[in-house]
């Protein structure tokens, strides 16, 4: 897309999105204005109402204090402009002067990071000297400064602070495509559109994941997508032969990426027009494949259209379509999905198969949370057990009888430091059973735990089939000695429909009772995904006190609460 069309479309998108504004401060000692539109557009097309706030040029340190509250800060701190023409005068600077300069910058980094240590997301570009480096065989002074500063940045890295290596973009695109040498000297604009487009492509997944918009599911076609050839036409023997050919090794690379995603808790599915038995037999009786049919949680291998199959997968997993990625070698199928379900991200297997593994790798950042939790590692297993449970359920005549047979146990955890990552992840990833959909970083969760004005109740759920791990969270804020507010109630969709929703509220109210709380305030904020919780408080003794367009406010007198008292769910209260 031409830049001017991008500006026009960005403007339109900006006027259409009515979700909460996501403010981004790009602070820099060079001119980076052209980045604003490209970044806003990329995030707005992903339903984040991004707005790049105007910042002062070359006032990184002077204005550091003012960026404390920003949702996202991006730092372009260019060595090339730290001192005018430093690249060209470096040889005439004494070693002592170099040392003094380095110390000055280190102190400034310390100050800046101290100012931003509570910020939700800080994206800091590593220092680079490559834009103007000329020597291949000795280290210039600027190169040494650069390396020391980067080592220092790495040592300072914390949970909300991400370092971006610009050299990787220079490597991919080439310096001449990235650097605007013509305008740098006159107006201090160092980078080109090409550079910004790549840069934005790299940081967009980071911002999406930090906004609770990580991808969770990847669906593969089979023929020429998981292996070279068509099983129904070429047959197993021919495909085995293909796997040993020069093209075959690229499919092994694909298998390794798939296995890595599996281990990281990404849900893998198959959607293919084929005969199911033929595909599964081939996958499970073939030592030449690194993957087998058990790696794929749901398999829609039939002759129905793929659009319907994918909608079914979404329904069965209870996950929304915008958390899906679809990979297919057929342009027709990819176009169909792009048209019918535009919220799904798609990958067409490239015609040059050597490009395929690299293109698939580019999708990986969209899946990853900042830290892998135990729940991530066991997610596929947990879902598999859930499906076993579903078929077990069909044997029972009523739901009550079935739930009783499951022996559900809930363990509670109060203000538990060792599960901070998972608690943050629940706020970031849970959309459907989430009353307020407030996203919190690990740092914020840590602050809540330290703050006596807050209590955090997390629950883990297990039954005869599986231990689902930490899958529920409530954040309570104490307004005074008698009154508390339910800031967050979120439950993972894996444990819904088993009365845990009701029991969790019993646990919360019981906890508040012990704290001698008499009144509870709560609210439900409507999003496009949390339809199922809109009457949660109405159905559980709370009194509706105010309704506005997207929000309902409630109040509860604790004495009026009717406990659900579901006797077949066992609760282990953590000893405080």
Partner 1 sequence: MKKNEIEKKLKKIMSIVFTIDESKIDTNTSNQNIEAWDSLKHLSMILAIEDEFNIRFTNKETALINDFKTIVDIIQNNLKPKF
The candidate with the shortest Cα–Cα distance to 78, out of 168, 145, 141, is 145
The candidate with the shortest Cα–Cα distance to 206, out of 117, 122, 112, 119, is 122
Residue 182 in the binding site for partner 1 (CB under 8 A): yes
- Non-local (6+) Cβ contacts of 86 within 8 A are 79, 80, 142
Residue 187 in the binding site for partner 1 (CB under 8 A): yes
To partner 1, the closest distance from the beta carbon of 11 in angstroms equals 8
Residue 189 in the binding site for partner 1 (CB under 8 A): yes
Which member of 111, 152, 193, 519 binds partner 1 (CB under 8 A)? 193
Choices 2-10, 22-30, 289-297, 474-482; region in contact with partner 1 by CB under 8 A: 2-10
To partner 1, the closest distance from the beta carbon of 79 in angstroms equals 22
- Which lies closer to partner 1 via its Cβ, residue 39 or residue 261? 39
The candidate with the shortest Cα–Cα distance to 297, out of 254, 268, 325, is 268
Choices 73-81, 189-197, 321-329, 534-542; region in contact with partner 1 by CB under 8 A: 189-197
Round to whole Å and give the CA distance between 78 and 541. 58
Which member of 183, 234, 238, 477 binds partner 1 (CB under 8 A)? 183
The candidate with the shortest Cα–Cα distance to 508, out of 467, 567, 452, 561, is 561
- Non-local (6+) Cβ contacts of 211 within 8 A are 22, 48, 428, 439
Annotate 275-308 with DSSP letters as a single string. Answer: -HHHHHHHHHT-TT-S--GGG-SEEEEESS-HHH
Round to whole Å and give the CA distance between 131 and 138. 16
- Which lies closer to partner 1 via its Cβ, residue 192 or residue 224? 192
To partner 1, the closest distance from the beta carbon of 16 in angstroms equals 17
- Which lies closer to partner 1 via its Cβ, residue 32 or residue 267? 32
Q: Which residue has the tokens 């109630």?
A: 489
Residue 395 in the binding site for partner 1 (CB under 8 A): no
Name beta bridge partners: 520.
484, 556
Choices 185-193, 347-355, 421-429, 563-571; region in contact with partner 1 by CB under 8 A: 185-193
- Please, are residues 216 and 262 in contact by the beta-carbon 8 Å criterion? no
Reading phi first (left if > 0) and then psi (alpha if -120 to 50, else beta), residue 519 is in beta
Annotate 356-425 with DSSP letters as a single string. Answer: HHHHHHTTGGGT--SS--HHHHTHHHHHHHHHHHHHHHTTSSSHHHHHHHT-EEEEEEES-GGGHHHHHH
- Which lies closer to partner 1 via its Cβ, residue 192 or residue 225? 192
- Please, are residues 313 and 340 in contact by the beta-carbon 8 Å criterion? no
- Which lies closer to partner 1 via its Cβ, residue 7 or residue 230? 7
Choices 141-149, 183-191, 242-250, 459-467; region in contact with partner 1 by CB under 8 A: 183-191
- Residues in binding contact with partner 1, number by CB under 8 A: 14
Residue 4 in the binding site for partner 1 (CB under 8 A): yes
- Which lies closer to partner 1 via its Cβ, residue 159 or residue 177? 177
List phi, psi (to 5°) of 287.
-65, -15
To partner 1, the closest distance from the beta carbon of 525 in angstroms equals 34
Length of the chain, in residues: 576
To partner 1, the closest distance from the beta carbon of 176 in angstroms equals 11
To partner 1, the closest distance from the beta carbon of 2 in angstroms equals 5
Choices 1-9, 222-230, 281-289, 317-325; region in contact with partner 1 by CB under 8 A: 1-9
Residue 7 in the binding site for partner 1 (CB under 8 A): yes
- Which lies closer to partner 1 via its Cβ, residue 55 or residue 462? 55
Cα atoms in the Cβ-side hemisphere of radius 13 Å centred on 336: 14
To partner 1, the closest distance from the beta carbon of 48 in angstroms equals 23
Tell which positions 23-52 bind partner 1, by CB under 8 A.
31, 33-34
Longest dimension (CA), the chain: 87
- Which lies closer to partner 1 via its Cβ, residue 89 or residue 187? 187
Residue 234 in the binding site for partner 1 (CB under 8 A): no
- Which lies closer to partner 1 via its Cβ, residue 1 or residue 287? 1
Q: Where do contacts with partner 1 occur on this chain (CB under 8 A)?
A: 2-4, 7-8, 31, 33-34, 182-183, 187, 189, 192-193
């Amino acid at each position: 897309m031409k830049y001017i069309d991008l500006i026009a479309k960005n403007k339109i998108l900006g006027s259409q999105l009515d979700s909460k504004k996501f403010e981004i401060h790009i602070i820099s000692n060079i001119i980076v204005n052209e980045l604003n539109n490209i970044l806003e557009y990329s995030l707005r097309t992903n339903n984040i109402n991004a707005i790049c706030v105007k910042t002062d040029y070359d006032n990184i340190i002077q204005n550091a204090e003012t960026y404390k509250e920003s949702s996202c800060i991006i730092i372009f701190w260019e060595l090339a402009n730290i001192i005018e023409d430093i690249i060209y005068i470096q040889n005439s600077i004494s070693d002592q002067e170099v040392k003094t300069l380095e110390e000055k910058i280190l102190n400034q980094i310390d100050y800046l990071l101290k100012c931003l240590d509570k910020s939700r997301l800080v994206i800091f570009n590593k220092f680079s000297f490559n834009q103007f480096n000329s020597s291949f065989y000795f280290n210039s002074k600027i190169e040494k400064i650069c390396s020391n500063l980067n080592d220092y940045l790495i040592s300072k890295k914390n949970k909300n602070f991400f370092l971006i290596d610009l050299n990787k973009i220079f490597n991919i695109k080439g310096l001449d495509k990235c650097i605007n040498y013509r305008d740098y000297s006159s107006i201090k604009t160092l980078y080109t559109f090409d550079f910004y487009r790549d840069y934005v492509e790299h940081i967009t997944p980071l911002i999406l994941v930090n906004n609770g918009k990580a991808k969770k599911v990847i669906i593969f076609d089979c023929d020429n997508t998981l292996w070279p050839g068509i099983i129904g036409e070429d047959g197993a023997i021919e495909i085995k032969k293909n796997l040993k050919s020069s093209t075959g090794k690229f499919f092994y690379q694909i298998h390794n990426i798939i296995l890595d995603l599996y281990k990281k808790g990404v849900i893998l599915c198959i959607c293919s027009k084929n005969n199911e038995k033929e595909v599964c037999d081939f996958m499970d009786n073939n030592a030449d494949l690194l993957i087998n049919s058990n790696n794929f949680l749901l398999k829609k291998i039939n002759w129905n259209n793929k659009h319907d199959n994918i909608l079914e997968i979404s329904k069965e997993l209870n996950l929304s379509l915008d958390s899906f990625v679809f990979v297919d070698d057929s342009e027709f199928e990819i176009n169909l999905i792009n048209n019918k379900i535009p919220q799904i991200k798609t990958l067409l297997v490239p015609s040059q198969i050597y490009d395929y593994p690299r293109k698939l790798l580019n999708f990986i950042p969209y899946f990853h949370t900042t830290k892998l939790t135990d729940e991530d590692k066991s997610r596929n297993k947990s879902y598999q057990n859930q499906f076993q449970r579903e078929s077990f359920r069909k044997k029972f005549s009523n739901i009550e009888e079935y739930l009783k047979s499951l022996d559900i146990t809930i363990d509670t955890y109060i203000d538990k430091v060792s599960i901070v990552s998972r608690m943050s992840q629940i706020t970031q990833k849970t959309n459907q059973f989430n009353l307020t959909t407030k996203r919190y970083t690990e740092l914020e969760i840590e602050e809540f735990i330290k703050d006596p004005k807050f209590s955090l109740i997390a629950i883990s759920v297990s039954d005869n089939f599986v231990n689902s791990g930490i899958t529920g969270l409530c954040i309570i804020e104490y307004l005074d000695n008698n009154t508390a507010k339910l800031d967050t109630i979120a439950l993972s969709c894996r444990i819904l429909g088993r009365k845990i929703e009701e029991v969790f509220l019993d646990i919360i109210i019981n906890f508040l009772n012990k704290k001698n709380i008499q009144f509870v305030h709560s609210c439900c904020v409507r999003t496009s995904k949390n339809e199922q919780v809109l009457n949660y408080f109405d159905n559980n003794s709370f009194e509706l006190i105010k309704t506005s367009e997207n929000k309902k406010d409630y109040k509860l007198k604790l004495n009026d609460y009717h406990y659900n008292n579901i006797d077949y769910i066992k609760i282990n209260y953590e000893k405080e």
